[in-house]
Chain A
């Protein structure tokens, strides 16, 4: 094999490896993108079925119910237009509170209840997740500035 052929072989091998790697990366990427929806959009059926999505909004005051026998928690997330029932099993973040902003990741069940796999609340009193601000704004463009924190 001449050096030229060998170099070409290396080049072809390298490009093939790179191509395969790129394909694998983009595939994994595509599978793990989590899209974000507001409760209104979710209820209108805009979210893809069988795919994890994120929702954001405020925890509706007085909506949090704990199951006394297990770690199940039920609450409603609202963007002030639509309020969506959410079920979650596990420990809620320290700053999860009624009337406060929250982001939940999970799927919308056939019964219309959002089954959350993960619940994120803000980490700081001053801070409202961008998704929540956005949800309030999309539901009610004029009043969002005055929306409670």
Chain B
């Protein structure tokens, strides 16, 4: 019964989304107040329906209702309760339902916090969100219904993929989807602005906190995914340039550009067309990501089972949405003025360069991700683009970007002198260059690239330190009086600096070794002695495991003991699964995982030494915190009626 209620709720949600997509937009066009006001109610009602559907699917998982095909395919009676709840998004259909739930949730958030927005603006934003919902809800109902029944119902489920039976599964997908879907809000604001012709500073101010929160979620989602892959997959890598990682990384890059370009639009009224374009591109890239993951065109850890019909649907949705948006853009954008002028050396120029670099970076990733698919589709043979391509192209793009982060905040809006900027930052440059050159000397061999990476990262840190010193002398009261938006910027930039230090050190000095070890044998990696003590069999709730013991010592003194496992899951998949064991530290991680058993108790064992790898995730956390701080700034919540009216007038509404 419950699955049918869920099914019915989904159909109702689609109808409500249609109402939300059509009525308010028509109302805004015809200045019909009641029609415009309906947007909020439709958004709430749609969310309620999707939440009911989501609850029904979750109940089916909790009750082990294997008559529902999706439950039978992704759960099992032996699966612990919390994984049964998270298994809802363990496959294509359920994760799409989560996606739609998030989208409806963003709609409710906009409806709740848009009280100080003009009614027509709120109606248009919610209307566009409704239309996006229509797209995803029809995709789910017509190609990937999670409530399809199975008859006769199997006694036992097929089980959740063992790789997904991990706490990472609880946080990674919801946060990632929050981010992905959040950019629909930025997109909705952009389209609403184009429709109304009100493309001004006020619009940018309304749009900024939403965009920032979406960016924060995406940052957390990607960071968590990387952290999960690092310990879960037993490969010890943190980024693989896998097409699906790229699918989330591309909107992150353009989303980062969008945040910065929105800042210019809000402060100076410049870059308006470009900002709208970025919002459209970012949303387009999230749709492209959905296509890559859900159409089965790629070979990846993340890819769901193949179904060409789904691919065609998303591609059509993508073409229609982006086609219409670009047509609207082409029609409306020329009427938008250019905004304030600025000199060649100014904050605007710095942010323009930031945008150019980020968009080029996204384009480079797009080329590497799409090219093999395009060649395959054209029948030109199967090819793949290796990680070395991305690595070799990314470093030359990211180093100047980092230098811009150090300089940018020091340069004045509108006009400044390079000499003045140099005077403000020369101390930081010299100190960072010296420290960057010396730091790698503590490691195996001095490498210019690592040194360069450390130099720009330290430059950012020191530049922020000098700036805060100048402004506050680090007095607590002065620090507390800084605006959250300003502080948030520095915290996020500091996060990126930490991340860069982590990347430079890991890339430069990590040691990876696959060795054959018999019980009692020792191998030395980066000054640490790893001694294998053999394996013993162990039983888990729904798996059997060989649990190895690896003792680690340095200079004769014990450091830690690692317990890597090789698991075989009891459900009928009988799938082996490597569980790595880590000793985490601020300056290094030690990592051991079991490969294959050999004769006489010997195993192939993979041992890693990863310097500074935790800085990567610390950096992600700081970036997210910075974003949260920035979004919490009071000025986003206070309406400035006089300014809005002036802005709208200046633009010359059509």
Taking the complex as formed, is B596 at the interface, i.e. its CB lies under 8 A from any CB of chain A?
A: yes
CB pair A124–B161 under 8 Å, yes or no, is yes
Taking the complex as formed, is B516 at the interface, i.e. its CB lies under 8 A from any CB of chain A?
A: yes
CB pair B163–A91 under 8 Å, yes or no, is no
Which single residue of chain B is at the shortest CB-CB distance from A92? B596
Q: Which of A93-116 contact B (CB under 8 A)?
A: 94-95, 103
User: A28 vs B234: C-alpha distance in the bound complex, in angstroms?
Assistant: 29
Taking the complex as formed, is B634 at the interface, i.e. its CB lies under 8 A from any CB of chain A?
A: no
Task: Report, as a range, how many residues of chain B touch the other chain.
Answer: 35 or more
Can you list 26 residue pairs at the A/B interface with Cβ under 8 Å?
Answer: A6-B344, A25-B364, A28-B388, A28-B392, A28-B393, A29-B368, A32-B389, A32-B392, A33-B383, A33-B385, A34-B384, A34-B385, A34-B386, A36-B382, A52-B386, A68-B598, A71-B604, A90-B595, A91-B593, A94-B576, A95-B575, A120-B299, A124-B161, A126-B305, A130-B382, A131-B382
Q: A29-B393, A90-B595, A123-B163 are in contact. List 10 more A-B contacts (CB 8 A).
A: A28-B393, A29-B367, A31-B388, A31-B389, A36-B384, A66-B598, A68-B598, A91-B604, A91-B606, A92-B595
CB pair A69–B385 under 8 Å, yes or no, is no
Closest 6 CB pairs of A and B: A91-B595, A36-B382, A32-B389, A90-B514, A32-B386, A28-B392
Taking the complex as formed, is B570 at the interface, i.e. its CB lies under 8 A from any CB of chain A?
A: no
> Which residue of B384, B396, B606 contacts A54 across the interface (Cβ within 8 Å)?
B384
What 0/1 pattern do residues 117 to 134 of A give for CB contact below 8 A with B? 000100111110111001
User: A104 vs B351: C-alpha distance in the bound complex, in angstroms?
Assistant: 44
Taking the complex as formed, is B573 at the interface, i.e. its CB lies under 8 A from any CB of chain A?
A: yes
CB pair B385–A29 under 8 Å, yes or no, is yes
Q: Which residues from chain A contact B578 at a C-beta distance below 8 Å? A: 94
User: A28 vs B386: C-alpha distance in the bound complex, in angstroms?
Assistant: 10
Taking the complex as formed, is B642 at the interface, i.e. its CB lies under 8 A from any CB of chain A?
A: no
User: A131 vs B383: C-alpha distance in the bound complex, in angstroms?
Assistant: 10
Residue of A6, A125, A134 contacting most chain B CB atoms (<10 Å)? A125
Q: Which residues from chain A contact B305 at a C-beta distance below 8 Å? A: 126-127
Q: Which of A36-85 contact B (CB under 8 A)?
A: 36, 52, 54, 66, 68-71
Taking the complex as formed, is B360 at the interface, i.e. its CB lies under 8 A from any CB of chain A?
A: yes
Q: Which of B337-356 contact A (CB under 8 A)?
A: 344
Taking the complex as formed, is B381 at the interface, i.e. its CB lies under 8 A from any CB of chain A?
A: yes
What 0/1 pattern do residues 1 to 39 of A give for CB contact below 8 A with B? 000001000100000000001001100110111111000
Q: Which residues from chain A contact B427 at a C-beta distance below 8 Å? A: none
Taking the complex as formed, is B587 at the interface, i.e. its CB lies under 8 A from any CB of chain A?
A: no
User: A91 vs B141: C-alpha distance in the bound complex, in angstroms?
Assistant: 43
Taking the complex as formed, is B599 at the interface, i.e. its CB lies under 8 A from any CB of chain A?
A: yes
Q: Which residues from chain A contact B599 at a C-beta distance below 8 Å? A: 68
CB pair B515–A94 under 8 Å, yes or no, is no
Nearest-Cβ distance from residue B7 to partner chain A, whole angstroms: 25
CB pair B393–A25 under 8 Å, yes or no, is yes
> Which residue of B382, B389, B396, B576 contacts A134 across the interface (Cβ within 8 Å)?
B382
Nearest-Cβ distance from residue B280 to partner chain A, whole angstroms: 22
Taking the complex as formed, is B577 at the interface, i.e. its CB lies under 8 A from any CB of chain A?
A: yes
Residues of chain B having any CB pair with chain A under 8 Å: 161, 163, 234, 299-301, 303, 305, 344, 360, 364, 367-368, 371, 381-386, 388-389, 392-393, 396, 514-516, 573, 575-578, 593, 595-596, 598-599, 604, 606
Which single residue of chain B is at the shortest CB-CB distance from A29? B389
Which single residue of chain A is at the shortest CB-CB distance from B387? A32
> Which residue of A32, A89, A94, A130 contacts B577 across the interface (Cβ within 8 Å)?
A94
CB pair B301–A123 under 8 Å, yes or no, is yes
Which single residue of chain B is at the shortest CB-CB distance from A125? B573
Q: Which residues from chain B contact A126 at a C-beta distance below 8 Å? A: 305
Nearest-Cβ distance from residue A95 to partner chain B, whole angstroms: 7
CB pair A28–B576 under 8 Å, yes or no, is no
User: A54 vs B376: C-alpha distance in the bound complex, in angstroms?
Assistant: 14
Which single residue of chain B is at the shortest CB-CB distance from A52? B386
User: A33 vs B303: C-alpha distance in the bound complex, in angstroms?
Assistant: 22
Residue of B161, B163, B299, B593 contacting most chain A CB atoms (<10 Å)? B299
Which single residue of chain B is at the shortest CB-CB distance from A26? B367
Nearest-Cβ distance from residue A107 to partner chain B, whole angstroms: 13
User: A69 vs B598: C-alpha distance in the bound complex, in angstroms?
Assistant: 9
User: A89 vs B516: C-alpha distance in the bound complex, in angstroms?
Assistant: 11
User: A125 vs B596: C-alpha distance in the bound complex, in angstroms?
Assistant: 19
CB pair A24–B385 under 8 Å, yes or no, is no
CB pair B383–A34 under 8 Å, yes or no, is yes
User: A126 vs B74: C-alpha distance in the bound complex, in angstroms?
Assistant: 12
In the complex where A29-B367, A92-B595, A129-B299 touch, is A71 in contact with B516 (Cβ < 8 A)?
A: yes
Nearest-Cβ distance from residue A3 to partner chain B, whole angstroms: 10
CB pair B396–A24 under 8 Å, yes or no, is yes
Nearest-Cβ distance from residue A30 to partner chain B, whole angstroms: 9
CB pair A131–B299 under 8 Å, yes or no, is yes
> Which residue of A35, A70, A89 contacts B381 across the interface (Cβ within 8 Å)?
A35
Which single residue of chain A is at the shortest CB-CB distance from B394? A28
Nearest-Cβ distance from residue A111 to partner chain B, whole angstroms: 23
User: A94 vs B569: C-alpha distance in the bound complex, in angstroms?
Assistant: 12
Residue of A24, A25, A66, A120 contacting most chain B CB atoms (<10 Å)? A25
CB pair B383–A36 under 8 Å, yes or no, is yes
User: A125 vs B161: C-alpha distance in the bound complex, in angstroms?
Assistant: 9
Q: Which residues from chain B contact A21 at a C-beta distance below 8 Å? A: 360
Nearest-Cβ distance from residue A143 to partner chain B, whole angstroms: 21
User: A68 vs B600: C-alpha distance in the bound complex, in angstroms?
Assistant: 10
User: A25 vs B367: C-alpha distance in the bound complex, in angstroms?
Assistant: 10
Nearest-Cβ distance from residue B161 to partner chain A, whole angstroms: 6
Which single residue of chain A is at the shortest CB-CB distance from B512? A90
Q: Which residues from chain A contact B388 at a C-beta distance below 8 Å? A: 28, 31-32
CB pair A130–B516 under 8 Å, yes or no, is no
Q: Which residues from chain B contact A6 at a C-beta distance below 8 Å? A: 344
Q: Which residues from chain A contact B393 at a C-beta distance below 8 Å? A: 24-25, 28-29
Nearest-Cβ distance from residue B301 to partner chain A, whole angstroms: 5
CB pair B514–A125 under 8 Å, yes or no, is no
User: A10 vs B352: C-alpha distance in the bound complex, in angstroms?
Assistant: 14
Q: Which residues from chain B contact A89 at a C-beta distance below 8 Å? A: 514
User: A21 vs B385: C-alpha distance in the bound complex, in angstroms?
Assistant: 19
User: A120 vs B300: C-alpha distance in the bound complex, in angstroms?
Assistant: 10
Q: Which residues from chain B contact A131 at a C-beta distance below 8 Å? A: 299, 382
CB pair B389–A71 under 8 Å, yes or no, is no
Nearest-Cβ distance from residue B122 to partner chain A, whole angstroms: 40
CB pair A71–B514 under 8 Å, yes or no, is yes
Q: Which residues from chain B contact A31 at a C-beta distance below 8 Å? A: 388-389
User: A71 vs B355: C-alpha distance in the bound complex, in angstroms?
Assistant: 47
Nearest-Cβ distance from residue A117 to partner chain B, whole angstroms: 10
User: A35 vs B595: C-alpha distance in the bound complex, in angstroms?
Assistant: 28
CB pair B381–A10 under 8 Å, yes or no, is no
User: A90 vs B605: C-alpha distance in the bound complex, in angstroms?
Assistant: 9
Which single residue of chain A is at the shortest CB-CB distance from B357? A21
Q: Which residues from chain B contact A33 at a C-beta distance below 8 Å? A: 383-386, 389
User: A141 vs B33: C-alpha distance in the bound complex, in angstroms?
Assistant: 64
CB pair A95–B576 under 8 Å, yes or no, is yes
User: A149 vs B90: C-alpha distance in the bound complex, in angstroms?
Assistant: 23
Q: Which residues from chain B contact A35 at a C-beta distance below 8 Å? A: 381-383
Nearest-Cβ distance from residue A104 to partner chain B, whole angstroms: 12
Which single residue of chain A is at the shortest CB-CB distance from B606? A91
CB pair B344–A10 under 8 Å, yes or no, is yes
Nearest-Cβ distance from residue A116 to partner chain B, whole angstroms: 13
